C-alpha cells in the first residue's frame, strides 16, 4: 500500500489530503481563506501567500492525524507545481520539498488540472478509459481526452474567460460578493432560466472551444440598460438565465467531444462541477446518450489535497519523481508538464 500526502496551495485554499494507492481517500483537510479575502471582493495574491504560510503546517498535521498516519508511513509527497498564483504555489512547493527531504521519501510534482481530473478516479476507481472530461474551474475550462493514466490531451479550451471566472464576475456585478459561483447558483434556484435569452458562443459547428466573456458582457450591459431607464430587474431570473446559458454551452461542447472521439465515458470535474444545475444537465444528457457518467462529490470538485495525492500516485507509477530543484510554475501548461 502506498500512502501519498497531497498538497495544493494554488489559489485560496490551503489543502492537504492523504490517499492510498491513488483511490482511497484517508483524509482531505481544507483551510478556506474566504473570510480573509471577502472584504476585498476577490482573492488578493499576497494576502493568500501569507495565509498559506500560517495555515499549511496545521492543515498537513491534521491530514496526517485524520489518516491515522505519521510521516514515516508515507510513500511520497505530491504537490501542485502549477498553474496558480506564484506566491501561494511557492509556499506549497517549499513545504512539500521540506517534508519529502526530512522524511527521505520521493517528491512528486503535479499539474493542477491533472489533480482535478483524478477526482473522477477517486469518485469511480477503474473508470473505463478512454474518457472525455469536462473540467471547469475558476482558472480553466477545458475538454480533456483522457486516453490512459497520465496520458491526457486538451482537445478544447476557453478562448477568453473560464466558466468559473464568468460566474464570479457576474455574481460580483449582481452584488453577490465573493466567492461568486455558489452564491449565484443559490440565487438562480429561485429564478426562471428562460426569462432572458443571453447569447451562447458556439464558435462554429465543430468547435470544442469555449468563450464566456461575450455572455458576461451581455448580462452586464442588459442590466445596466434596464437600470438606466429606472427599470427593475428580477435578479434571480438574470442569474438563472445566465447559468442556463453557461451550462447549455458546457453540455453541448462536451457532447460534441464525446461524439467526435467516439468514447463511452464522460466525466465532469473542477470547481464549477459543484454546480447542481450543471451536474444534473450533463448527467441527464449522458443517460439519454447511453454513456457512463462520473462526477465527484461536491467537496472533491473544488480545490483539495486528495486530488493531488491521487494524480501524484499515477505520475509516480510512471516514474515521474521530482527533486529538490523543483520550482513553482504559475503559468504551467499541461502540454509542457506532460511533455506532449
Asked if 161 is part of the footprint of ligand KG4 (rule: CB under 6 A), the reply reads no
Asked if 83 is part of the footprint of ligand KG4 (rule: CB under 6 A), the reply reads no
Selection from 69, 67, 50 nearest residue 12 by Cα: 50
323 and 303 Cβ atoms separated by less than 8 Å: no
For ligand KG4, which is the closer residue by CB, 20 or 243? Answer: 243
Binding test (CB under 6 A) with ligand KG4, winner from 156, 271, 296, 305: 271
The C-alpha atoms of residue 174 and residue 197 are separated, in whole angstroms, by: 18
Q: Which three cell numbers stand for residue 236?
A: 434571480
Asked if 8 is part of the footprint of ligand KG4 (rule: CB under 6 A), the reply reads no
Binding test (CB under 6 A) with ligand KG4, winner from 6, 82, 88, 270: 270
Spacing of C-alpha 1 from chain mean position: 27
Spacing of C-alpha 306 from chain mean position: 13
The C-alpha atoms of residue 177 and residue 100 are separated, in whole angstroms, by: 39
Least separation in angstroms between residue 269's CB and Zn ion is: 9
Partner interacting with residue 275 (select from ligand KG4, Zn ion, none; CB below 5-8 Å by kind) = ligand KG4
Partner interacting with residue 181 (select from Zn ion, ligand KG4, none; CB below 5-8 Å by kind) = ligand KG4
Segment contacting ligand KG4 (CB under 6 A): 28-36, 51-59, 176-184, 217-225? 176-184
Looking up cell 501542485 gives: 80
Asked if 89 is part of the footprint of ligand KG4 (rule: CB under 6 A), the reply reads no
Count of positions on this chain that bind ligand KG4 (CB under 6 A): 20
Task: Count CB neighbours of 205 within 10 A.
Answer: 6
For Zn ion, which is the closer residue by CB, 11 or 219? Answer: 11
Asked if 179 is part of the footprint of ligand KG4 (rule: CB under 6 A), the reply reads yes
The C-alpha atoms of residue 198 and residue 218 are separated, in whole angstroms, by: 7
265 and 123 Cβ atoms separated by less than 8 Å: no
Write the binding mask 281 to 320 for ligand KG4: x where contact by CB under 6 A, - elsewhere: ---------------------xx-----------------
Least separation in angstroms between residue 270's CB and ligand KG4 is: 5
The C-alpha atoms of residue 125 and residue 144 are separated, in whole angstroms, by: 18
Asked if 137 is part of the footprint of ligand KG4 (rule: CB under 6 A), the reply reads yes
71 and 103 Cβ atoms separated by less than 8 Å: yes
Least separation in angstroms between residue 83's CB and ligand KG4 is: 9
Contacts of 74 (CB under 8 A, 6+ apart): 3, 4, 5, 18, 103, 105
Least separation in angstroms between residue 304's CB and Zn ion is: 9
Name the residues that contact ligand KG4, by CB under 6 A: 11, 137-139, 164-165, 167-168, 179-182, 185, 270-272, 274-275, 302-303
Amino acid at each position: 500500500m502506498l500512502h501519498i500526502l497531497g498538497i495544493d496551495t494554488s489559489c485560496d485554499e490551503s489543502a492537504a489530503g492523504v490517499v492510498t494507492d491513488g483511490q482511497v481517500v484517508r483524509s482531505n483537510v481544507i483551510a478556506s481563506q474566504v473570510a480573509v479575502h471577502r472584504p476585498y471582493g476577490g482573492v488578493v495574491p499576497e494576502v493568500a501567500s501569507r495565509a498559506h504560510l500560517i495555515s499549511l503546517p496545521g492543515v498537513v498535521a491534521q491530514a496526517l492525524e485524520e489518516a491515522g498516519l505519521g510521516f514515516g508511513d508515507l510513500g511520497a509527497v505530491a504537490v501542485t507545481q502549477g498553474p496558480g498564483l506564484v506566491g501561494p504555489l511557492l509556499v506549497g512547493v517549499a513545504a512539500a520539498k521540506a517534508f519529502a527531504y526530512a522524511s527521505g521519501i520521493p517528491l512528486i510534482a503535479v499539474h493542477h488540472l491533472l489533480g482535478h481530473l483524478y477526482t473522477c478516479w477517486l469518485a469511480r476507481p477503474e473508470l473505463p478509459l478512454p474518457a472525455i472530461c469536462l473540467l471547469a474551474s475558476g482558472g480553466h475550462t477545458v475538454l480533456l481526452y483522457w486516453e490512459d493514466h497520465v496520458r491526457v490531451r486538451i482537445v478544447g479550451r476557453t478562448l477568453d474567460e473560464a466558466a468559473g471566472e464568468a460566474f464570479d464576475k457576474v455574481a460580483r456585478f449582481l452584488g453577490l460578493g465573493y466567492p461568486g459561483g455558489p452564491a449565484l447558483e443559490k440565487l438562480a434556484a429561485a429564478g426562471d432560466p428562460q426569462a432572458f435569452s443571453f447569447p451562447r458562443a458556439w464558435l462554429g459547428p465543430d468547435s470544442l472551444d469555449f468563450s464566456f466573456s461575450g455572455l458576461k458582457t451581455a448580462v452586464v450591459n442588459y442590466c445596466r440598460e434596464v437600470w438606466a431607464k429606472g427599470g427593475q430587474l428580477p435578479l434571480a431570473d438574470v442569474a438563472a438565465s445566465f447559468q442556463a446559458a453557461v451550462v447549455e454551452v458546457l453540455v453541448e461542447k462536451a457532447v460534441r467531444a464525446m461524439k467526435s472521439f467516439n468514447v463511452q465515458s464522460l466525466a465532469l470535474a473542477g470547481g464549477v462541477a459543484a454546480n447542481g444545475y450543471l451536474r444534473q444537465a450533463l448527467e441527464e444528457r449522458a443517460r439519454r446518450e447511453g454513456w457512463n457518467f462520473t462526477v465527484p462529490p461536491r467537496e472533491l470538485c473544488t480545490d483539495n489535497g486528495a486530488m493531488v495525492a491521487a494524480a501524484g500516485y499515477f505520475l509516480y507509477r510512471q516514474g515521474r519523481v521530482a527533486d529538490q530543484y523543483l520550482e513553482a510554475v504559475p503559468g504551467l501548461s499541461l502540454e509542457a508538464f506532460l511533455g506532449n
